[in-house]
Amino acid sequence: MKFGLSTLTRGVFSTRENYRAVAQAAERAGFDFLSVSDHVVVPANLQSKYPYSPTGAFSAAEQGYCLDQLATIAFLSGCTERLRLLASVMVVPHRPAMLTAKMLSTIDVLSNGRLILGAGAGWMKEEFALLGAPFEERGKLTDEYLAAFRELWTKDDPAYSGKHVSFSGVMFYPKPMQNPLPIWIGGESPAALRRTIRFADAWYPGNNSQTVPLDTPARLAAGIAHLRRACEAAGRDPATIDVALLVQNYFEWEPHKIADGSARRLYTGSADDMAADTAAGSGRDGAWFAGQRSASTQYFLPHGTSGVARSAVACLTNCLLQSRRSLAQGRRKRLGRQANIFEVGRYMAQSNRKAL
């Protein structure tokens, strides 16, 4: 099992000092990877509904603050030596295809092969309009961009001809250090599953999807089984696709129910509850789940040989600062009331390792 740290490019992560300190502390603490979220701008009059919230509210709508994702990852690559860096997720249509491919390749080279590209088609219509990107065509555009990325990254004489991307006669170097550079596809829709099967090293859904919730072991197992069937129907071996779950809830040391009250939400409750969640998903029949929601933790869980080859479980956080609010009071008192976010992060890393 591998642990990672997820970050948003605002709030406590608004300064280079804080971001650098958190990344380096995560590396020292033994975390395996760190992820960075993506928005270029936030519209002043946002009407689009965030698809992972029951209310549709987007947490950055009022402040509008966000560092650029790829520039941030490049910065963090220079602050760390071992930590893998995950774009979680990059909204593919936001940036020109060839420029984006070059930026990602550059990051992978300068980070010594530590980049993971989480990729999605996006949901915020107003942001697309501000960036001059066609929202209604975002799915097709995403598919073309990803195909163009692979062409540029792997061919000595790359050429591509599509509706949104066309090129030939280009020398594209350096190639990424990783071959292939890993791609995780975000989303739960039929289009996201098709994109996963076509392009991805891992499927990367969110547990709080309002259309396909994956917030219990049974629901997650059903989602993975559906992916396996779709792989088989498309002629792709399911064992070649990892599965990453983005758990979008606060870490809770007390049991919390899912929206309809019918079951305990994944990775809430006691340490024994969370260990049982993990044990239930570690079998070899292809049905797995894991992923403790912590305000600072992600997981990568190896899977059985006859199931999906490896299973990544990523628990997305809003930010480390909010983790203090998320700790059960009894455990928080053990830290002391003056504990800072880095102490909270270290404590949670120790607690999670014991629990799992």
Residue 137 sits in a domain of what CATH number?
3.20.20.30
Contacts of 140 (CB under 8 A, 6+ apart): 163, 164
Neighbours of 214 (CB within 10 A): 24
- What lies within 8 Å, CB to CB, of 270 at 6+ separation is 253, 255
* pTM of the predicted model as reported, rounded to 2 decimal places: 0.81
Residue 307 has pLDDT above 60, yes or no: no
Question: To the nearest 10°, the Cα dihedral for 131, 133, 318, 288?
Answer: -160
Strands 166-167 and 202-204: unpaired
- The pLDDT confidence band at residue 188, using thresholds 50, 70 and 90, is very high
pLDDT for residue 279: 61
- Look at the chain and report how many structural domains it folds into: 1
Note whether 301 and 290 are within 8 A (CB): yes
Determine the Cα–Cα distance for residues 107 and 260; give it in Å rounded to an integer: 43
DSSP H/E element including 244: strand 242-246
Residue range of the domain that includes 46:
2-355
| Span 101-116, average pLDDT | 98
Vertex 86: Cα angle to 47 and 344 (nearest 5): 85
- Distance in angstroms (rounded) separating the CA atoms of residues 356 and 353: 5
CA dihedral 329, 330, 336, 341 (to 10 degrees): -50
Average pLDDT of the chain is 80
> In the predicted model, is pLDDT for residue 287 greater than 90?
no
